[in-house]
Amino acid sequence: MNILVFAENQNGKFPKSALEAVSFAAAWAKSVGGSCTAITHGQIDASVLGNYGCNRVLHLASLAAADGEQITALVIAAAEKSAANTIVLSHDTTGKSAAPRIAVRWNAGIVSGATAIPHGTTVKKNVFSGKAIAHVNITSEKQVVTVLPNAYGVHATGAPCAVEAFEVSVPAARVVVKEVKLESAEGIPLPEADKVVSAGRGMKGPENWGIIEELAKELGAATACSRPVSDIGWRPHHEHVGQTGIAIRPNLYIAVGISGAIQHLAGVNGSQVIVVINKDPEAPFFKAADYGIVGDAFEVVPQLIAAAKAFNATK
């Protein structure tokens, strides 16, 4: 079984989700004795992809930012060139726009959001917004699998490898990026963060977020919030996690003044370790927590900041 994996170039950088997709594809190919080829595009040092275990890298340097149809054309051409019968992408925005097209054009079965290396033709994925797991069989000869961000992780098991220039003509983009508006260029993007400090309505008002940001900064964490908090405009929308916001799977999720409604949990219950700080001992979030502090956020969080500062000083 030969695998082709797509690694997205985001402004000259491989995002964590791309490196996870390559790590996943390389380990999968290895487990079945196949080869793994990566395809990427644009101005970037593509040889580093070898670090994540692929055997070969194809590179279309002339194609900068690309829409889903362009990536579809690029990926299918590269799969044919590398005699792959399996295509892997990340289940990120780019993967979501290209993978379904690839599956139709290739007449391949597709499973999106895989969380583990498949066994045979069975792929494991989260369903019901993380409340259950499904094992899905792909019955077609060719297959497309997308990898859930923050589930498999980045595994640097290889070494830089040779990059082959790859040429293919792709159609013009029909979805055109007109403008990029960044609210904050600094800080860690939430979907990629290993650690997240999140707060809810228990914080009483946006003026009290200083301690949340400070704790996040000391821990090297991104900040997030519950839905009502972004709905009332205390925090930007892109921080909203949960069933209707974004789903995250950090190693550490600290929830301050969040009750733990089932719709909130749906976006965070994949986190490895959950810490809950809430003044109500009956808050449902404690049932999903690994560590809990029943107390007032305005007293507890400053102590955590001081302890984190002391901890950082000993590192």
Partner 1 sequence: MKLLVCISKAPDTTSKIAFANGNTSFDEAGVTFIVNPYDEWYALVRALELKEAQGGSVTVISVGGSDYEQIIRKALAIGADDAVRIDAPETDALSVAKHIADYAKEQGFDLILTGKETINYNGSIVPGMLAELLSFPYVTLASKLHVNGNVATCEREIAGGVEVLEVTLPAVISAAKGMAEQRIPNMKGIMSARTKPLQVITPVAFAANTSVQNFEMPPAKSACKFIAPEQAADLIQLLHTEAKVI
Ligand X SMILES: Cc1cc2nc3c(=O)[nH]c(=O)nc-3n(C[C@H](O)[C@H](O)[C@H](O)COP(=O)(O)OP(=O)(O)OC[C@H]3O[C@@H](n4cnc5c(N)ncnc54)[C@H](O)[C@@H]3O)c2cc1C
Interface contacts to ligand X, rule CB under 6 A: 200-202, 226-229, 242-245, 257-259, 261, 263-264, 267, 278-280, 283, 296-298
Q: Which does 278 bind (CB under 5 to 8 A by kind): ligand X, partner 1, none?
A: ligand X
For helices 297-314 and 210-219, angle between their N-to-C axes, nearest 10 degrees: 20
93 lies in the binding site for partner 1 (CB under 8 A): yes
Residue position matching structure tokens 């792909």: 138
d(CA 270, CA 245): 15
Rounded (5°) CA angle 75-55-44: 60
Q: Which does 297 bind (CB under 5 to 8 A by kind): ligand X, partner 1, none?
A: ligand X
Minimum CB distance to partner 1, residue 269 (Å): 8
Minimum CB distance to partner 1, residue 165 (Å): 28
Q: Do the beta carbons of residue 290 and residue 273 sit within 8 Å?
A: yes
Residue 314 CB neighbours (<10 A): 5
Q: Determine the interface stretch with partner 1 among 46-54, 130-138, 149-157, 203-211 (rule: CB under 8 A).
A: 130-138
* Smaller CB separation from partner 1, 134 or 156: 134
Minimum CB distance to ligand X, residue 198 (Å): 9
Minimum CB distance to ligand X, residue 265 (Å): 9
Residue position matching structure tokens 């055109």: 176
d(CA 62, CA 40): 11
What are the tokens at 289? 């927590």
d(CA 96, CA 128): 18
* Smaller CB separation from ligand X, 138 or 258: 258
Q: Determine the interface stretch with partner 1 among 45-53, 74-82, 169-177, 196-204 (rule: CB under 8 A).
A: 169-177
Q: Which does 287 bind (CB under 5 to 8 A by kind): partner 1, ligand X, none?
A: partner 1
d(CA 198, CA 129): 19
Per DSSP, the three-state class of 206 is helix
Q: Determine the interface stretch with partner 1 among 1-9, 154-162, 201-209, 233-241 (rule: CB under 8 A).
A: 233-241
Cβ-defined contacts of 279-285 (< 8 Å, 24+): 279/202, 283/259, 284/259, 284/260, 285/255, 285/258, 285/259, 285/260
Q: Which does 264 bind (CB under 5 to 8 A by kind): ligand X, partner 1, none?
A: ligand X
13 lies in the binding site for partner 1 (CB under 8 A): no
Q: Do the beta carbons of residue 37 and residue 60 sit within 8 Å?
A: no
Q: Which does 258 bind (CB under 5 to 8 A by kind): ligand X, partner 1, none?
A: ligand X
Q: Which does 226 bind (CB under 5 to 8 A by kind): partner 1, ligand X, none?
A: ligand X
Q: Which does 108 bind (CB under 5 to 8 A by kind): partner 1, ligand X, none?
A: partner 1
What are the tokens at 290? 């690994």
Minimum CB distance to ligand X, residue 127 (Å): 17
Q: Determine the interface stretch with partner 1 among 29-37, 52-60, 150-158, 235-243 (rule: CB under 8 A).
A: 235-243
d(CA 79, CA 58): 10
